[in-house]
Amino acid sequence: MALARRLSRAEVQVIIGSRDPAKAKSAAASLGAAARGLSNADAAAAGRVIVLSVPYAAHRVTVESLAAGAAGKVVIDTAVPLVTGEVQHVDLPPAGSLALETAALLPDAKVAAAFHTVSSAMLNDLERPPHGDVLICADDTNAKEAAEGLVRAVGMRPVDAGGLSHSHALEHLAGLLLVVNRRYRRRDLGITIAGLED
């Protein structure tokens, strides 16, 4: 919801998807009159760009439910394969990353990986400008450009991090940032590529 909130504030039309359309409508209502809430499948069919932000446990079944609506569209996967046990850690799926799993499950979509290292607490705090860079991995130029557009819309800097095969690094970085945030008792630390000119 944090990313949806920032995008809505930037006047990007937002459609919230959920397995429960009533929950999606309630969430959309919290964003303002322009947002809509639909089932996952209907949201995928209605949207021009699909942003996938779900827990690891729900990732595969959610992606499978989007197949018809995602054909020919850009899908930006922000999910991180976090496993909670004694210690929270990243557990990459057999595909190599969740973004690669999404690409395998949605062969007719254009998949990008992005927003993994962006703090939801930071995005939720609309009183403060966002900070940091957003690393983007994609094989498809249109997918990369769509992700860059959303990054700029929320006021952050996009950084091209190569093809989708590098997306495992973004998912690992998210896990590492959780450790760093805990170590320094913060909730909003992110990534900035030092020395890269705007």
User: How do residues 119-153 score in pLDDT, each as one tens digit?
Assistant: 999 999 999 999 999 999 999 999 999 999 999 99
Read off the pLDDT band of 86 (50, 70, 90).
low
Q: Which one, of 156, 155, 136, lies nearest residue 146 by Cα?
A: 136
What is the pLDDT averaged over residues 1-5?
93
Overall CATH class of domain 49-183:
alpha beta
**Whether 99 contacts 143, CB under 8 Å:** no
Domain residue spans in the chain? Answer: 49-183
Burial 78-103 (b: 16+ CB within 10 A, else e): bbbbbeeeeeeebeebebebbbbbbb
User: How do residues 88-111 score in pLDDT, each as one tens digit?
Assistant: 789 999 999 999 999 999 999 999
User: How do residues 33-74 score in pLDDT, each as one tens digit?
Assistant: 789 999 999 999 999 999 999 999 999 999 999 999 999 999
What is the pLDDT averaged over residues 114-122?
95
Residue 83 has pLDDT above 90, yes or no: no
Q: What is the pLDDT of residue 39?
A: 95
For 44, 142, 172, the CA distances from 109, given in Å and listed in that order, are 11, 11, 24
Q: What is the pLDDT of residue 197?
A: 83
